[in-house]
Structure 1
Amino acid sequence: MNILSWNVRGFNDDAKRALHDHCSRFSPILIGILEPKKDVSKVPLHFWKSINVVPIHQNFRSGMSPNIWVLANPLVNISLVSSSTQVVILDCCWSSRTFRATFLHGDCSMVVRRYLWLELLTNVVDNMFFIGDFNAVKGAHERKSDCLPNASACREFCDFIDASGFVESNTSGLFYTWCGRRNLPSHVESVLDRCLFSEGFASMWNSLNTHVHPRIASDHSPIIFQCQENAVPRRRNFKFLDMWLSHPDFHDFMQVSWQAPTNSTCPLYNVMAKIKRFRTELKIWNKQVFGNVDEGISQLQESLTKIQLKIADEGYSDLLFDQEVAAQARIGTLLTRKSNLMQQKSRVRWLKDGDRNTSFFHKSYKMRRKNLTLSQLKIDGVDTFDQDVISSHIVDFFSKLFSEVTTNTVMVQDIQQIVEATVSHKQNESLSCIPEEEEIKAAVFDLASDSAAGPDGFSGTFFQNCWDTIKDDIVVAAKTFFLKNYLPQGLNSNTLILIPKKDVVETVADLRPIVLSNFFLRFFRKLLLLGLVLWLLIM
């Protein structure tokens, strides 16, 4: 679903041609035309039919021409909620999805815009978005000029966004949406046009992105709000959840699973086999014993409601009081687990443990998932939106990159002839000596517990909290590694992650690949590093 908003500053022939081009390429189901400076009836109906939209509404301004037109695909069911000199609000239904669309054109006056902020907050619903020319910036970083923007206006705009609870969409294309060259002594650019959406609206889509197009026939850029359909759910990789540790039966269950023998005689393979088996059993335990946290909270709240209604009807009794206290305590436990789950998913580290902030973590997690989605990519110079095509292109690009054969091969012997040896044979033996149990434990606990997990899904939290159970196998495996100088196949498996090199990703070259390795492998690296640090201290 695509939604277009454009401040045309006069709907002339150039604007009509540009609009026709955008509609033929992106097929928006909703269009907001701002500052058309004429009545919509003055545009021939055959033009609207040519871009597959019909006029829905234009706002009324006493003694002036309308400044907001709303047009829509004929298949969209629309009902008007509110219309004023600065905003048009509509309830829409498209493809079995119901949402509230808001097209706005903020006044140039900060005082008049206050009425706009108030009207928007009055009509907020869960599944809603705002799009248009806000005529306001959040700070100096959104304005390129010799003079700073009005601090009070920026603060009021930021306060409005915070009060609404809405989130600004990721943007691609141009950064500044308006360029002012009219009777100004210097060049000015600002981010005036944008799209904000609610958490409920975000949950309806797989990815959300706003593309800012080049300015044509107006000093404002057309912006297209792109909402990608929820894709077919893919099988998610296993990930150890910290909240499992809070269950009273977890450690007993884990101990029974871990201490069961395996068919492997090699200590390294033995640990890998136990991790794989425990992962399978943990999935079953999560469904059958731990249960769904949200469902548990709902069921306990219903039970608590019945208990409190019974107390109101029958009066106080020790039995009912004990049941109420137990239900409240149980709900508190589940709320803490949910908070821990959301914090782990959101990857927010700067809040202290114990701060619940569940809604904040939940929103951070959802927005992080939306931001990690590539909604479009330039392939051979052409903007591509098809997710399957984008995925195939990325896989092909990095497959060729990593399998490329270079002719400039440097042999180890050549390096040894150039670089002077600084570590003697005796010193090398001390670095490679078998570590003691305390050194192995130090390596495990020195690694960050909440760092991203590798392909096996187990983070440092599992290894550190279950150390008493798994330490014997880990110690034997570590000593075997130093004795045999060998890592089994599969231990060095990694997950390839693409990190954007810049804010706006346009081509695959703007992505930097990094790998996430298993904690069990990182632990061996840490052991070698600690040995090197100890040797340097001795030297």
Structure 2
Amino acid sequence: MKVGTFNCRGLGGDVKRRRISELIRLEALDFIVIQESELEMCDSTLCAQLWGSTEFEWFASPSQGRSGGLLSIWNFNRGKLVFTFSGTGFHGVCLQWGVDAYRCVVVNVYSPCQLADKRWLWEDIIMSKRGFGSCLWCIVGDFNTVRRLNERKGGIGNYGARDMEEFNSFIRDMELIDVPLVGKRFTWFRSDGSMMSRLDRVLVSESWSAHWGAGFVEVIPHDVSDHCPLILNHKVLNWGPKPFRFNNCWLSHCGIEGVVRAAWEKQVQGPWAAQRIRVKLLNVKNDLKKWNIEVFSNVDTTIKSLTNELKELDAKNEEYVLVELERNRQKKLVDGIWCARRNKLTLLAQKARIRRGKYGDLNSKYFHACIRGR
């Protein structure tokens, strides 16, 4: 599902309506959520003008005077409406999507500015997720807060620290993945350029990411609003070659010293010492990568293979007496499983951030989904 979000700061004028229609058409969106429509009433005529055809359904929450207002439009050929729900600062639609009729929920958010009101918003969404059971969740829109200080530029001091702490707590409680941005660091810009923040974002559940794949959010340059439109994509990006990383678990293997020594002692040529050292380091890197594949391979596959072989020997041992060769193999399998599991734990601990370890997410689906999303 390709989802777009845009805080348009008012849908009353033709210019912004044309811009949204253009965005839907050029990006081939399946679903768009709009914040701050500033419309007390909405109708199918306006939605048809925005969508560019009659193949749509829509759900709107009215503004309070000229403040707020939410609008969600989607392709009814792709998603069949199951139900809608709403609260202060958000509304959501549950759809049966595609030929397989997967049940997914898209929540359109325009968060209030006051922390007390944000708390009510976050609590309402948490309760909605608990009440509606297992669905694919996408929570998207203008959250009016940031997660880290580096997501704001031009602000004063440590303003909004409590907001950040509680917003991060909400994301953890919901077990959501903050889909990374591509194109820009910020999504809102003050008109004079003195301040900018990442107020808009896309949060998805692990089940959403598992179904559609690891996503990324494209930031479209802002023009008719001080907010940038965002597009959630699920295509594979070419990030270039993967950087080399030294895995700490290699140090536990007796063969690593020989691999490094042999690679370093290879004859190299070059007029300058720095060039020769560069080639030697490249040799070490390439040989370590090959050795890692040969010795460590895929840790999970290794554990499964060793466990299955041990299971067969245990079953045989229940019926017959194992010969000495089989007993030795049994012992080696147990040692191998322990070694592989220690290697896996070391790899995960190396990849995990300290805060993930603090919250005990090391072995959770949520943590692994966050790793895949990076």
Q: In which range does the TM-score fall when normalised by the shorter chain?
A: 0.5 to 0.7
1:31 equivalent in structure 2: 32
Corresponding residue for 1:327?
none
Aligned residues: CA RMSD: 4.3
Residue 147 of structure 1 aligns with an amino acid whose one-letter code is: I
Match runs of 1:486-525 below 5 Å: none
Distance 1:224 1:13, change over 3 A: same
Change (3 A) 1:285 1:100: closer
Can you list the C-alpha shifts for 1:235-282, whole angstroms capped at 9, x where unaligned?
Answer: xxxxx9x8xx9xxxxxxxxxxxxxxxxxxxxxxxxxx9xx99x969x9
Give the match for residue 106 of structure 2.
101
Within 5 Å, give how 1:368-379 maps onto structure 2: 368-371=371-374
What is the 5 A alignment of 1:132-151? 132-148=141-157, 149-151=159-161
The yes-or-no answer on 1:114 pairing with 2:119 is yes
**Residue 2 of structure 1 corresponds to which residue in structure 2?**
2
- Name the amino acid aligned to 1:79: V
Q: Superposition pairs for residues 314-333 of structure 1, below 5 Å?
A: none
Structure 2, unaligned runs of 5 or more: 237-246, 253-286, 312-336
Q: Which amino acid aligns with 1:215?
A: H
Asked whether the 8 Å contact 1:77–1:93 carries over to 2, the reply is: yes
Query: Deviation per CA, 1:85-144, whole angstroms, max 9, x where unpaired?
Result: 311122223222332211110012222111111011112356312100001112332222
Separation (CA, whole Å) in 1 of partners of 2:338 and 2:103: 30
Equivalent residue number for residue 234 of structure 2 = 227
1:123 aligned to which of 109, 128, 139: 128
Residue 158 of structure 1 deviates from its aligned partner by 2.1
3-state SS of paired residue (1:40): coil
Aligned counterpart, 1:92: 95
Contact (CA 8 Å) 1:59, 1:85: kept in 2 or not?
no
AA at the equivalent of 1:112: D
Give how far 1:72 is off. 0.5
Q: Deviations over 1:463-503 (max 9, x none)?
A: xxxxxxxxxxxxxxxxxxxxxxxxxxxxxxxxxxxxxxxxx
**Structure 1, residues 276-307: CA drift from partner, whole Å, max 9, x if none?**
9x969x999866652399xx9xxxxxxxxxxx
Is the 8 Å Cα contact of residues 59 and 84 (structure 1) preserved in structure 2? no
What corresponds to 2:370 in structure 1?
Answer: 367
For the residues of structure 2 that align with 1:174 and 1:77, how far apart are their CA atoms?
Answer: 34
Give 1:400-479 correspondences, 5 Å limit.
none
**CA offsets, 1:55-110, max 9 Å, x none?**
42112566677611110001212223421231112222322233221111001222
- Whole-Å separation in 2 of the counterparts to 1:358 and 1:113: 25
For 2:207, the equivalent position in structure 1 comes to: 200
TM-score, scaled to structure 1: 0.46
TM-score, normalised relative to structure 2:
0.64
Q: Is the 8 A contact 1:136 1:153 kept in 2?
A: yes
Counterparts of 1:68 and 1:221, CA distance in 2: 17
SS in 2 for 1:163: helix
| 1:290 equivalent in structure 2 | 307
Within a 5 Å distance, the mapping from 1:316-395 to structure 2 comes to: 341=344, 344=347, 347-348=350-351, 357=360, 359-360=362-363, 362-371=365-374
Of 215, 219, 232, which aligns to 2:222? Answer: 215
Question: By how many angstroms is 1:8 displaced?
Answer: 0.6
SS at 1:31 equivalent: strand
Q: CA distance change for structure 1 residues 165 and 57 in 2, over 3 Å: closer, same or farther? A: same
Looking at structure 1, the residues matched to 166 and 183 of structure 2 have their Cα atoms a distance apart, in angstroms, of 27
1:69 to 68, 71, 83: 71
Identity %: 19
What is the CA deviation profile of residues 302-338 of structure 1, one whole-angstrom value per residue up to 9, with x for unaligned ones?
xxxxxxxxxxxxxxxxxxxxxxxxxxxxxxxx99976
SS of 1:10 mapped into structure 2 = coil
Go from structure 1 to structure 2 and tell me whether the alpha carbon gap of 1:361 and 1:343 turns closer, same or farther (over 3 Å shift). Answer: farther
Name the CA shift for 1:131/1:53 in 2 (closer, same or farther; >3 Å).
farther
Deviations 1:382-415 (A, max 9, x none): xxxxxxxxxxxxxxxxxxxxxxxxxxxxxxxxxx
Amino acid at match of 1:177: T
Structure 2 counterpart SS, 1:207: coil
Tell me how far apart the structure 2 counterparts of residues 192 and 139 of structure 1 sit (CA, whole Å).
11
Q: Which residue of 2 aligns with 1:484?
A: none
Shift of 1:365: 3.8
Provide the C-alpha distance between the structure 2 equivalents of 1:292 and 1:15, rounded to a whole number of angstroms.
64
Mapped to 1, the partners of 2:123 and 2:359 lie a distance apart of 30
Q: 1:114 to 1:216 in 2, by over 3 A?
A: same
Q: Distance in 2 between matches of 1:111 and 1:98?
A: 32
CA–CA separation in structure 2 for the residues paired with 1:127 and 1:339 = 33
Amino acid at match of 2:119: R
Q: Distance in 1 between matches of 2:173 and 2:60?
A: 28
Q: 1:171 to 1:62 in 2, by over 3 A?
A: closer
Match of 2:165 in 1: 155
Contact map agreement 1:348 1:361 (CA 8 A) in 2: no
Is 1:190 aligned to 2:197, yes or no? yes
Supply the distance in 2 between the matched residues of 1:336 and 1:90 (Cα, whole angstroms).
48
SS in 1 for 2:4: strand
Q: CA 1:369 to 1:63, structure 2 compared with 1: closer, same or farther past 3 Å?
A: closer
Contact kept in structure 1, 2:82 and 2:96, CA below 8 Å? no
Contact 1:31 1:72 survives alignment (8 Å): yes
1:336–1:356 contact (8 Å) kept in structure 2: no
Larger Rg: 1 or 2?
A: 1
Which has the higher relative contact order, 1 or 2, with Cα contacts under 8 A spaced 6 or more apart?
2
